[in-house]
Structure 1
Amino acid sequence: MKPSKLMHIASIIVGFVGIISFASAILGGSDNLVFGITKTDALLCSAILILIAIWTQIATIHHIMLEKKGEIV
């Protein structure tokens, strides 16, 4: 399997985890705790996960462009 395919799969998984943690932080209970941490911390963690997914996807696109040019095998 090509490294670009693995990078793409990793970015999708990280994105889904970020979306699930964001949804659980927004829809969580009224006690301001999600997964044992505060809602603010959960929202910050989900934002970081979504940013990681976006940057991984940008890196994947760059890697695919280099593969097409033949610079990366």
Structure 2
Amino acid sequence: MIAGEQQKLAEEKERLEQQIKKLKAQSMSLVTFGEKEIVGWVLRAPVDDKLKLHSEVIAALYSRQRRGRK
């Protein structure tokens, strides 16, 4: 009886781990999509605003990259 319960728990753990992997992949694709949208918006911005926006986007991406390394 205990072996059967352990097997069920192992199967449930595997199922949950697969769901976690799928959710991580989905969230990364959303982040990538968001970055592309920001870059596209910056490229369409008026020239005066581009320098300010460009520096803000670089700072945000750098900040996100540094958080990922910790």
Instruction: Give the alignment's TM-score, normalised by structure 1.
Output: 0.46
**Greater RCO, CA 8 A, separation 6+:** 1
Higher helix share: 2
Q: State which structure, 1 or 2, has the greater radius of gyration over its C-alpha atoms.
A: 2
Give the TM-score normalised by structure 2: 0.48
